[in-house]
Chains A and B, each alone.
Chain A
Amino acid sequence: MYFLRRILFAVPLLLVISALAFALVHLAPGGPFDRERAPASPEIERALKAKYHLGEPVWKQYCRYLGDLAHGDFGVSLKYRNHTVNDIIAQGLPVSMLLGALAFGFAMGVGLPVGFFTAARRGRWPDYAGSFLATLAVCVPGFVVAPLLILFFSIKWKLLPVGLWETPWHMILPPVALGLFFAGKVARLFREGMLSAMQSEFVTAARAKGLGENRLLLRHAFRIAVLPVVSYSGPMLADLLTGSFVIENIFQIPGIGVFLVNSSLNRDYTVVVSLSLLYAMLLIGMNLVVDFAYTRLDPRVKYE
């Protein structure tokens, strides 16, 4: 029931988001057709504005946008005038999703075990080493990691391709570069969760009952310990699935991550609003999944 209500609420929420995004992008100075060269005549500028209805008041443009949206038409990109936003999403989203899924797998596959180890071996050298590496992963920016990975794996050792997104070999470095940061975060959050779970009453009780340490850690503590990670997974997945500007730029991957940033810089109104909507839908969806997972993991959590 609760979740059904949440899904119903999503619709007006998305409307609010689209309105805010629309207003926000129109507030920014500069327009999509401002460029270095001036147009040949003021008539051209007027015609251009009229063609894309940019002269109308903002609320009217917004209603027009909503009307198109009701037909599943996200509009035409103002920068890439031969492409509709639907084209852009259809081409770019699957690529970004694949990249994101692979990065998520990497982040979890590396982050969870590292977090587990550092918590289980707390205070001893595996903890120090693991924590250090996890923190290091979070401190190095993506636009440093990616070129360094390329330098070593692609250029010096010639093991993997330098960029583009064509064969499975192309799909190894970018998810690693993207996922490293999140792996570090996951490791830290999981460690924190494990530590707090290991101190909690029911774990103490289970220990008192005589349960073995490992069984304890994995079966009982895990479900509680993973809560902060699950909390974080919602936004993390939404971020990952919409690609990453830095990674896609450096590896030249045809996803929509590049569009998310460039459309704002280009004042490509339709793309900005449409991609915000897309991102919002993903985010709401992911948060619903996360909240649902919460109830499964911690039976004490109840939603009214």
Chain B
Amino acid sequence: MNDKKVESSKLRVEGQKTDAPFVPVSVSQLSTLNPQPQFSPGQRAWQRFRRNRFAVISAWYLVFLLLAIITWPAILKITGGSFAQIHNPNQLSDAQFAPPGVQYWFGTDVHGRDVFSRILYGAQISLLVGIVGAGVSLVIGVLWGAIAGYVGGRVDSAMMRVVDVLYSLPTIIFVIVLITTLGEMLKQTHFVGSSPALARALRVALLFVGLGAVSWLTMARIVRGQVLSLRTRAFVEASRALGGGPVRILARHIIPNVFGVVITYLALTVPAIILYESFLSYLGLGVQPPMASWGTLIAEGVGQINPIRIYWWLIAFPGGVLVTTLLALNFLGDGLRDAWDVKSRA
């Protein structure tokens, strides 16, 4: 509540300093008054963000992670020799199930591959999956929900029924059909069929699209709910009274106000998508071996949990990195929401 104190007693006339407690001014002079240093909303948001410790730590962590992901392959290429060979994520060795040590920082798996390296390479896939998938779900979901909630009536009914229909279709079969049928169709075209590398890239791309396509539905529902509440509010009435058309109202009033819930939910969608990808890998539909993603690494690691002997590094490190990254994404999302949301200043 502290920074709300408006320093109304220190009105300053431009160019003049005065100690007088109150200077009556006329309306025409209002525009020349400069009560306090003006920051743009963006700058203010940035300042608020900086004050949120968790968000800042998370941001730094994510930056660090991204740097690590980008530079690691380069490091391996530069150092070459045995270092590169040991840390090659696809290099099999005889050091099966080695615990973390000097040579293999995070230990090795059943094939003697370096877990540390596999985590970094797997991060590429997982983060891409999460970001692209969440992006797709954001765009479709927000638009769909906002339009449905704002327009209301039969359009709302119809749009939400479509959401219901799509929601009740089993996602697994949808993903299977999408990936295999579309994949087959694309393979037939000469463009793709001639290049196996392109075919592989396309298979991964289809995975992203598929995941995004099944994730936008709940976002739409939540946005629609919020919009239903919002559209009866005074400021929306006011905007309409001032002659604003539906698109303008949607864009400038409704959507920014659902932003808070959307960001929070988005921050919950990215982990959901990454986790769904790991579930798909569990069923054999996700990323192709020997490519790794965090999901496949964790699925492998979970198989290690048993009452007899646990190779703890196979679950602790991939799991730890995944959880930390997702936590960071969440706190970042929270921080952004708190920074931007006009009304949540406490």
Contacts and interface: CB of A to CB of B under 8 A. Distances in A.
A and B touch in the complex (CB under 8 A): yes
Interface of A: 6, 9, 13, 16-17, 20-21, 24-25, 27-29, 122-123, 128, 131-132, 135-136, 138-141, 143-144, 147-148, 150-151, 155, 185, 188-189, 192-193, 195-196, 199, 201, 224, 227-228, 230-232, 234-235, 246, 260-261, 263-265, 272, 275-277, 279-280, 283-284, 287, 294, 298, 300-304
B222 A265 contact: no
B98 interface: no
Contacts of B261: 189, 192-193, 196, 228
Given A144-B298, A147-B305, A264-B170, A29 B181 contact: yes
Contacts of A16: 165
Nearest to A132: B327
5 contacts: A24-B177, A144-B315, A192-B260, A224-B229, A284-B164
Contact of B164 (A28, A265, A283): A283
Contacts of A150: 305
Contacts of A263: 170
Given A139-B327, A141-B275, A144-B319, A192 B264 contact: yes
Contacts of B28: none
A279 B344 CA distance: 38
Given A139-B323, A275-B170, A294-B225, A13 B264 contact: no
Q: Is the interface of B mostly helix, strand, loop or mixed?
A: helix
Contacts of B331: 135
B260 A196 contact: yes
Given A135-B331, A276-B170, A304 B165 contact: no
B126 interface: no
Interface of B: 54, 152-153, 157, 160-161, 164-165, 167-170, 172-174, 176-177, 180-181, 184, 217-218, 221-222, 225-226, 228-229, 232-234, 260-261, 264-265, 268, 271-272, 275, 278-279, 282-283, 298-299, 302, 305, 307, 315, 319, 322-323, 326-327, 330-331, 334, 343-344, 346
Contacts, number: 157
A304 B225 CA distance: 15
Contacts of B161: 9, 13
A139 B58 CA distance: 15
Contacts of B168: 17, 21, 276-277, 279-280, 283
Nearest to A249: B282
Contacts of A284: 164
A260 B305 contact: no
B164 A25 contact: no
Given A13-B165, A283-B164, A300-B232, A143 B299 contact: yes
